[in-house]
Chain A
């Protein structure tokens, strides 16, 4: 059969790096995939060594807009490991609150976009509606909807106002109720099952071999979570559980994310109940020579920072590894054998941005003629769901739930 190359990319803005996927297809089936990154290499590792220890927190915050607190917390963990600095208890609890708020809004963003992509626009609208109060909480607590700038080596930059806590408690109760409803609707929907189950399966062996992290590995039945494996902040003092799923497919990854948001909301409530009094900053004066490793569980997986200092005012080497850097190579194991409309979904399941699929185009290798644009690819994915919906006959559980919501005053 004639083999065609489909370029997918090269701009993929939500992940820390832009990338370019080259899909080799025979007919509709993908037979091989090749990846290229580095289009948006910003030299942040180098830039960070030209800033002082305090300023670097702001530099690494700019790596990603959505998980803007994961890099700073991994970085401050690394600096605190380097100098064996102790962090005050209150700062640890505040760190957990900020990190978990970020996890909820990041997961909700993904759920909404995934819903939109497979043709469930109501899921998209409701998930993003639920995300908005989380951003309001972030704004109330930290002053910003995103880029909170709360972390600093030795503690946090600003204290939280405890007068806000009763309101946050109420909002978290709402989030838990809403998510439980959404989980029930999505996990029971037969059309979603047909569309996402057994699609893009990442086996246990591949997950270990590619060293994947975050929901991507937890959906393959491996309970890897830095919050448990190497506890930082106050995670070892809270009561929560690591969510895993055994299937390894797109459905599993969605289920892990949905269930994690509920755990996060519970953790935030616990932190507010247990919030200790005291200082929020250890006031580090100087960072000694040595090396430190810090990592943190971002919404997409483990963020890894290594710093080496020579006793001076800045790091001499700062190595950063973002979660997508290890999750993306696993596409080689998950995409082969699937159709193009499924591959668009699989590459999305590790939580990249849909802007990439907007720019995805199918070209004929011989003539270079455009045979399919990004819009058409999205259409093909939505049509695949529509066909399944027709086979099902009648409204699906998700549609029924959403219909009910609309009728609510």
Chain B
């Protein structure tokens, strides 16, 4: 397997901003960052390193909502995931859809199911929830009353 270049480059450029780096195996790496550093790192991965945004996942945990941006780097045969955490009750994070069109839909979806507000989002409408779905009810939150039925 060829030498991997992306992860060392990210470590060098954003050294102090990376709270945790977890290299699960040679094809998967997870880096944890503060939410204010997410746009800069995502922009660097997409524009400079040729990363393709596979998708983003939102997970409600006890301490806040985790957002994971999964980037694929074909030359490195590696998926690098940028993890960040936003605090409830009114989670907010800067949108990366402003420079990365592929992120627009998934950010709208995370807003629908988890109620995360993406600041400066280019198109902040509902995506998957029905028009008559009540405002402020998020089905993937742990406190959603149907959650464990």
Hey, which bits of chain A sit against chain B, CB under 8 A? 17, 37-38, 41, 43, 46, 81, 84, 208-211, 224, 228-231, 290-293, 295, 302, 304, 306, 308, 316-317, 319, 321, 325-326, 329
Contacts and interface: CB of A to CB of B under 8 A. Distances in A.
A308 B59 contact: yes
Contacts of B140: 46
Contacts of A231: 77
A329 B59 contact: no
A293 B70 contact: yes
A260 to B, nearest CB: 18
B68 interface: yes
Interface in B1-58: 24-25, 27-28, 30, 52-55, 57
B55 A317 contact: no
Interface of B: 24-25, 27-28, 30, 52-55, 57, 59, 68, 70, 72, 74, 77-79, 81, 100-102, 104-106, 126-130, 139-140
B28 A319 contact: no
B18 to A, nearest CB: 18
Contacts of A229: 72, 74, 77
B129 A209 contact: no
B102 A210 contact: yes
A209 B100 contact: yes
Contacts of A306: 55, 57, 68, 70
A329 B107 CA distance: 13
B74 A329 contact: no
Contact of B128 (A38, A84, A317, A321): A38
A323 B78 CA distance: 19
A304 B54 contact: yes
Contact of B55 (A37, A41, A304, A308): A304
Given A38-B127, A41-B128, A326-B102, A319 B57 contact: yes
Nearest to A328: B105
B77 A321 contact: no
Contacts of A308: 59
A228 B72 CA distance: 12
Contact of B28 (A17, A81, A302, A317): A81
A84 B130 CA distance: 39
A230 B72 contact: yes
Nearest to B146: A46
Contacts of A41: 128-129
A329 B77 contact: no
A321 B57 CA distance: 10
A304 B127 CA distance: 19
A308 B81 CA distance: 13
A292 B79 CA distance: 11
Contacts of A316: 59
Contacts of B127: 37-38
Given A38-B130, A211-B53, A319-B55, A293 B81 contact: yes
A84 B59 contact: no
A81 B30 CA distance: 13
A317 B72 contact: no
Q: Across the A-B interface, give the 6 residue pairs with the lowest CB-CB distance, nearest first.
A: A211-B102, A38-B128, A319-B57, A321-B55, A229-B74, A317-B59
A38 B129 contact: yes
B62 to A, nearest CB: 12
Contacts of A292: 28
28 contacts: A37-B127, A38-B128, A38-B130, A81-B28, A209-B102, A211-B53, A211-B100, A224-B52, A228-B74, A229-B74, A231-B77, A291-B30, A292-B28, A293-B79, A293-B81, A295-B54, A304-B54, A304-B70, A306-B57, A317-B57, A319-B55, A319-B57, A321-B106, A326-B105, A329-B101, A329-B102, A329-B104, A329-B105
Q: Which one of A17, A38, A231, A302 has the greatest number of beta carbons of chain B within 10 Å?
A: A38
A251 to B, nearest CB: 24
B74 A224 contact: yes
Nearest to A40: B128
Nearest to A39: B130
B55 A230 contact: no
Contacts of A304: 54-55, 70
A174 B102 CA distance: 40
A232 to B, nearest CB: 10
Contacts of A326: 55, 102, 105
Contacts of B102: 209-211, 326, 329
A343 B79 CA distance: 34
A321 B74 contact: no
A91 to B, nearest CB: 19
Nearest to B60: A317
Given A210-B102, A304-B70, 11 more contacts: A17-B128, A37-B128, A38-B129, A46-B140, A211-B101, A224-B74, A229-B72, A229-B77, A291-B30, A306-B70, A329-B101
